[in-house]
Amino acid sequence: MKSIIITGASSGIGKETAKLFALKGFKVFATARNVQAMADLKELGCILIKLDVTDDESIQKAFKQIYESTSVVDILINNAGFSQNGFLEELSRDQLLHQFEVNVFGLIRVTQQVLPQMRSSGYGLIINVGSMGGDFTTPGASAYHASKYALESFTDGLRQELKGFGIKVSLIKPGGVATNFINNAAFPLPVKGNPYGLMRENYQKMLLTVLDPSKSSFGILKPEDVALKIYKTAISKKPVTRVRIGASAKFIPFVKRLISDNTFDAMIIKQLGLNNVIKTN
């Protein structure tokens, strides 16, 4: 029975991925800060582990539990992440740091925990759940996009570093997914006289539209759709290094490569309804 660790398994993509692998006979270590939210996974045979990817002590304790239950981790799925919405001028240093602590540095810390054992075994698979947001940026979420760009580079470097040890690395890049991701997204409280008020309002409306299956132009993915792609990547003899899921994840980066930065900026600003707002603020 192969062992797999999944971070951020308390909801959305992480939970559906844990369910699928458990049903397929894997030994699943489902990890998240909120263990209670994973109670249904325990009924499927998953081993629940409390893990906060931003807390070194929590990481050490979690992996102590994991390695007491298994000597080999075959697959690591780095899924934990969140979106720090907000315009750059209104984000504090602590808010920016937290965005990278969760989406980048926490992921690196967790990955470092499995590398010695995987190298010793001579095999293993690491799947990082990124986003189409690692290909382009929108105003109102530049911190989030920056963290996903960083994840792209980190994944490329990791894949190159580990190839000689028999360890494979893949990046999953879904488009819009119907989860609580946006509802859980942090958004700084507006300050008095904030010039981004109307932009913020339009940005939030855009998010609700883009992630509404009845309104989106590209179609919205279900968490199960992404989980299935992750599973197929995991069982493949030659996992694809980048897996783009959904029309938007494929179309928008393609268009961006064909046009200038200024043209792309204008397209995004118009799409968000920010062109007139910017002129009047």
Q: Could you report the per-residue pLDDT of 138-157, keeping only the tens digit for each?
A: 888 899 999 999 999 999 99
Do 206 and 185 form a contact (C-beta atoms < 8 A)? Answer: no
Higher-scoring residue by pLDDT: 211, 233? 233
In this model, does residue 184 exceed pLDDT 60?
A: no
In this model, does residue 14 exceed pLDDT 90?
A: yes
Do 4 and 31 form a contact (C-beta atoms < 8 A)? Answer: no
Q: Span 97-124, mean pLDDT?
A: 97
The CATH superfamily assigned to 3-280 is NAD(P)-binding Rossmann-like Domain (3.40.50.720)
Coil vs helix vs strand at 78:
strand
Coil vs helix vs strand at 74:
coil
pLDDT band at 37 (very low <50, low <70, confident <90, very high): very high
pLDDT band at 55 (very low <50, low <70, confident <90, very high): very high
The string of pLDDT tens digits covering residues 192-208 is 567 777 777 777 777 76
Whose CA is closest to 126, among 33, 5, 22? 5
Q: What is the pTM of this model?
A: 0.89
Provide the annotated active-site residues: 144
In this model, does residue 256 exceed pLDDT 80?
A: yes
In 26-175, which residue ranges form alpha helices assigned H by DSSP?
39-42, 56-69, 93-100, 106-121, 142-162
Whose CA is closest to 137, among 153, 127, 149? 149
